Structure 1
Amino acid sequence: MHNRLTLLASSILLASLSSGTTQAALYAVDPGVPGARPYPLESGNKTGYAAWYQDTHGRTLDLCLSKAVSSRVAGAPGVPSYMCILNPAPGQFDDTQAVVFPTNFPDETFWFAADGSITDAARGIDLGYGAAIEAAFNGEVADGNQQSFARIRIRVDVPVAGVYTVTHPYGVDVFNVTPEEFTDTGGTRAINMTRDIGIGPSGDYTGALKGDIGPFLRSVNGPYTETNPDTGQQEKFVGDPNVEEQVTGSPFNTNFLRIQGPNGIDIRSDVFAVSGKLSAVDLPAPALVKRASYSRGNTPTGVVAHQDVFTLAPPPPGTVIFLDSAGTAVTMTEANTTGSWFGQSAVNPTVPATLQVTADNHLAIPTALPPTTVPVPLTDLVTITRAQYSRGSGLLTIDASTSDRLTPPVLKAYAGRSGALIGELAGAADKTLSPPGGTVPPATIRVTSANGGSDTEEVVIVP
């Protein structure tokens, strides 16, 4: 996967269910120097790149430029077994000399990289996989051209046309190789997908936070400690790119590669070559609250209510608690080391209310700073069950409901995510709106609650 910046290779992508839309990938990036050019070369950074990225498991990785070598795999003459990916580039980067920006610097480097493969000659499958947080250049290696992005790359030689499903640590991608495409390629790289997310202007490294990568995969045998020959310092790495090993860290607990396809193809690999240098910077434990909502209603035995909190934070031995609207501490639980925590309180809230979520990671990372506490508003849940436009009548019909069935708040419908108000939904907890028709329906509608909940849906067109 390690070559120059490619925005999007040709692919036959039928559908994609990746972490980018449902799972926070990364948590934070080095903010640079406030009030100045964010990453000045005259500072201790010396590359113009963000020094580090942090994931939701609390691990922080530096831009990997160390010449520390593996103590598990001996290098060949002229090809040291570096713990970082430092590929020589004739005329640009000589790895036998000191790394100096920009005169002797790789045209691509990495905060994180994981490579995997599946090769089965008998079944005609040859799959290459790469996941990375990459540093590259928009043009020549020079200050002002620095860029970062999150990359997923899948390339597969296939034996026949058909639908192939690739499951990987950061999602599921489905490819339809048509007979024409198979004939054109002969099956060689009939699947050829590169998804780069986060490429922005030089000096802005926040885009990669929205990509598919994260938390960082790490070897189940790590971390590894090696000596940097340039400084004599001991450094730690989440994996050894010279060794294929089992890993952990997938946000979906899919710490493997798997390809399924026509004629019963179903092949799996559980090993990856991983590179990433653990940073010495001390950062607070991440706590990313995905949802804090309440539901309540009348039952034959009285009012039943609950407050639900979903948070991404370091998995055990990390801990997460939240204080509900009454100030009672609720211990949250995590089931499968993905860092997805859940907690519930049976207290009937008085809204508006703000909950306090606290994550502590010092048992996993002793140098971690004190626990992180995040305030988050408690909202109801809004669900749109119908958003339908009739071409015949010109009517837009919207049905929506709120999880507050005891004292339902006002719901309002808008055209699009930030468009004009369509109207107020009438009724009790389940509400309906049929405003006067128009010739042009909105592509989407958004329904918001006076108690903070919201939902957005595409409008279905009917005769």
Structure 2
Amino acid sequence: MNQLLSKAYILGLRAMGERRRITLAVFLLAAVSLSMSVWLGATATATHVPGGHLAAVGPVNAQTHFAEWYEDSNGLQLKLCINDAFLCINDPVDPGNALSVESGFGAEAFWWAADAHMPVGTGGSALLVLAVEAAYANDDPEANAQMSFGRIRVRASGLVPGASYRVIHPYGEKDYVAEAGAVSIRDTIDIGCLGVIPGAVACDWNLARLSNVGPFLVWDPAVAPEAPPGAIGNPAVEHKVIGSPFGTNHFRIEGLNAGGPGVNFAQTDLFLVQGKLFDNPPTAVNDAVNIPVGSTARPIDVLANDSDRDGNTITVSAVTQPASGAVAIEAGAGRVIFTPGAAGSQTFNYTASSTMPGNPT
């Protein structure tokens, strides 16, 4: 389905080490299986304030067998981030697994991810993980076992046991009572097609859109350095971000000694972000030109009525030849030169390409 209008709110509580998976059937125009994995290591004491959602999902890629892209409410489309050792963090290819070799990664990869970490409490630390993730039902790459989900994970240690804390992040906020032990807060919410049965129930890629992840956080363009070309960030470089639907482009914990003795908050606005832009192919429109009898070479601006969704520069990268006459690309002009042969109607094809390679129309 293109529209997912139902919302489901589930509160799951767990003791340390226990995993609870909740499957909810949502009935709209057809039955939709929505899987939510909820892990909590501290008692949630207040209603979660949810964030946004993703707007759309692309078709399945024939090579990876996962959705081509996810799009947020700002129209930003991100492709599955693989095949880039510097800008993508994904499990490496398993050379002994044919599907892994074909898809270009191992057990998991990400369309998008943003992590933040900071010191908290007394010698403790806090971690925020936000992601739209690709994985497999049984961990190892397996045909017809693909899954996608949005993830919000909060981990913290070194807080005061029994004290109340509020966690604020770009997609919402939530209250907790810190647990005793090594981990004070442990909370993971995954929403998407997690209940895949290999070979029987295929992933509905739309279900990841029901998570509270969205719009995508991206590097703040007003803060140097700029994101690498074709990417929205670098997962190895901490950077300020924009994109929160609430304007809370930070990770903050409020409560007793959260920032150390006598300091009741801790906060960071630096994130490690990964995500690569999906380069849509340009849209080419047919052209028709009348050329007087006796004309010689004639320039034709075939790109004048073509467009590119991403705003990339379009060029003519190839042409075919008509039955009579000749066509050549005019270097640097975005035009072709047609030299007529015999009188009558002639047809040729051209290829329009955007500035990012590999997406011709």
| TM-score, normalised by the number of residues in structure 1 | 0.47
- Inter-partner Cα distance in structure 2 for 1:89 and 1:158: 37
Residue 261 of structure 1 deviates from its aligned partner by 1.0
Residue 159 of structure 1 deviates from its aligned partner by 3.1
Q: Name the residue aligned to 1:175.
A: 176
Q: Which has the higher contact order (CA 8 A, sep 6+)?
A: 2
1:224 correspondence with 2:228: yes
The code of the aligned residue for 2:248 comes to T
Q: Name the residue aligned to 1:164.
A: 165
The equivalent position to 1:17 in structure 2, one of 48, 62, 65, is 48
Q: Name the residue aligned to 1:273.
A: 272
Structure 1 residues without counterparts, runs of 5 or longer = 33-38, 68-79, 226-235, 285-361, 369-463
Q: Name the residue aligned to 1:203.
A: 203
Residue 282 of structure 1 deviates from its aligned partner by 6.1
Post-superposition CA distance 1:319-375 (Å, at most 9, x none): xxxxxxxxxxxxxxxxxxxxxxxxxxxxxxxxxxxxxxxxxxx9x95359xxxxxxx
1:259 correspondence with 2:253: yes
Task: Kindly indicate whether the alpha-carbon contact (under 8 Å) linking 2:165 and 2:254 is maintained by their aligned counterparts in 1.
Answer: yes
Task: Kindly indicate whether the alpha-carbon contact (under 8 Å) linking 2:251 and 2:269 is maintained by their aligned counterparts in 1.
Answer: yes
- Inter-partner Cα distance in structure 2 for 1:207 and 1:246: 29
Residue 106 of structure 1 deviates from its aligned partner by 1.5
Q: Name the residue aligned to 2:142.
A: 142
User: Identity, % of aligned pairs?
Assistant: 33
Tell me: CA distance 1:90–1:48, structure 2 relative to 1, closer, same or farther (3 Å). Answer: closer
The equivalent position to 2:75 in structure 1, one of 55, 58, 64, is 58
- Inter-partner Cα distance in structure 1 for 2:126 and 2:113: 17
- Inter-partner Cα distance in structure 2 for 1:61 and 1:367: 16
Post-superposition CA distance 1:433-455 (Å, at most 9, x none): xxxxxxxxxxxxxxxxxxxxxxx
| TM-score, normalised by the number of residues in structure 2 | 0.59
The equivalent position to 2:62 in structure 1, one of 27, 45, 48, is 45
Task: Kindly indicate whether the alpha-carbon contact (under 8 Å) linking 2:154 and 2:186 is maintained by their aligned counterparts in 1.
Answer: yes
- Inter-partner Cα distance in structure 1 for 2:312 and 2:94: 40
Residue 56 of structure 1 deviates from its aligned partner by 0.5
Task: Kindly indicate whether the alpha-carbon contact (under 8 Å) linking 2:41 and 2:183 is maintained by their aligned counterparts in 1.
Answer: no
- Inter-partner Cα distance in structure 1 for 2:278 and 2:69: 7
The code of the aligned residue for 1:114 comes to A
Task: Kindly indicate whether the alpha-carbon contact (under 8 Å) linking 1:49 and 1:203 is maintained by their aligned counterparts in 2.
Answer: no
The code of the aligned residue for 1:244 comes to E
- Inter-partner Cα distance in structure 2 for 1:198 and 1:18: 19
Residue 172 of structure 1 deviates from its aligned partner by 0.5
Q: Name the residue aligned to 2:57.
A: 29
Structure 2 residues without counterparts, runs of 5 or longer = 1-20, 22-35, 197-201, 258-262, 284-306, 314-361
**C-alpha root-mean-square deviation of aligned residues, in Å?**
3.1
Post-superposition CA distance 1:365-423 (Å, at most 9, x none): 5359xxxxxxxxxxxxxxxxxxxxxxxxxxxxxxxxxxxxxxxxxxxxxxxxxxxxxxx
Residue 91 of structure 1 deviates from its aligned partner by 7.0
Q: Secondary structure at the match of 2:209?
A: helix
Tell me: CA distance 1:156–1:144, structure 2 relative to 1, closer, same or farther (3 Å). Answer: same
